Amino acid sequence: MIRHKFREEKGSLGKVLPPIAEIVLENNGFSVGMPMYIDSGADVSMIPLHFGRALGFKQKEKDTIQEIKGVSGVSIPYILKEVTLILNDKVLKIRIAWALVEEVPMLMGRMDIFDKFRIIFDERKGWIDFEE
């Protein structure tokens, strides 16, 4: 079992405890460690433009720019890429939406991740469990 604690943040609603996982993304010898919001409402994991560049992503002629809409209804252009995600000692090859804008949070979505685990959000105890 993998356990991550909620992390306290302050926002317009005061103190909130969003579910966050510390992960590592790897691509062609580059790796970046980062916290990601665990978002059961997100179809796909997403990273902003500069993190994709840090991983060595480049827009290629064969890449298809797609658009996704979040809760706000705003369209976000992205390119679907493949990357290695490391969650504690679990290594997963996943598809990730590399946003072509900066104004997106780091999101861990369902595609290629949620089907590998039973994920329990325990708000009262303040943690998220990933059970294989």
The three-state secondary structure class of 53 is: helix
CATH number for the domain running over 2-15+38-131: 2.40.70.10
Give tens-digit pLDDT for 13-30: 888 889 999 999 999 999
For the chain, give the percent of residues with pLDDT over 90. 80
Triad 112, 116, 117: Cα angle to 5°: 130
Read off the pLDDT band of 70 (50, 70, 90).
Answer: confident
Nearest by Cα to 40 from 132, 127, 124, 121? 121
Q: Which residues pair with 59 in a beta bridge?
A: none
Inform me whether the pLDDT recorded for 71 exceeds 80: no
The three-state secondary structure class of 114 is: helix
Inform me whether the pLDDT recorded for 72 exceeds 80: no
Give tens-digit pLDDT for 74-99: 899 999 999 999 999 999 999 999 99
What is the pLDDT of the chain when averaged over all its residues?
93
Of residues 90 and 69, the one with the higher pLDDT is: 90
Of residues 123 and 96, the one with the higher pLDDT is: 96
What are the residue boundaries of the structural domains of the chain, listed by start? 2-15+38-131
Nearest by Cα to 65 from 94, 30, 57, 73? 57
- Report the pLDDT value the prediction gives residue 16, as an integer from 0 to 100: 86
Q: Which amino acid is at 101?
A: V
CA dihedral of 9, 117, 26, 66, whole degrees rounded to 10: -80
Nearest by Cα to 22 from 83, 82, 86, 81? 86
